[in-house]
Structure 1
């Protein structure tokens, strides 16, 4: 199961640095909705980082991403 999330993480980690930036998470979430549904995701992304960026570095590591993906199944698919 963890391998599935690692593969999804790698897909969203567009620069390949092993961390997800705010921009990468925003793009990932935006890809789940049609353009007409996406208005301003900054509040959603900020809330996600507040909850899941446990070390507070402004980035999501794989270990921080897995709980997020488990709680937001659309993101983990």
Structure 2
């Protein structure tokens, strides 16, 4: 796993628990697109979790985050 993705993951994991919540992912995306209303992001975040939360625990681990980051280079 790339140190670059681990560092990006750590930046978005604001509580440092080793997993990203929907709120943390929403904040990350909102930071990339500051003019987007948060209501518009909820559907995007749900879709991302549906695809990348492979163990369906409601969080993104670093191993689940890496494919997401590879497909959304803006996260980096």
Q: Would you say same fold, with TM above 0.5? A: yes
Structure 2: segments with no counterpart, 5+ residues: none
Query: What residue number does 1:19 align with?
Result: 19
Structure 1: segments with no counterpart, 5+ residues: none
Query: What residue number does 1:66 align with?
Result: 66
Q: Give aligned pairs, total.
A: 74
With structure 1 as the length reference, what TM-score do the two structures score? 0.92
Query: What residue number does 1:28 align with?
Result: 28
Deviation per CA, 1:37-75, whole angstroms, max 9, x where unpaired? x12200000000000000000000000000000000001
Query: What residue number does 2:51 align with?
Result: 51
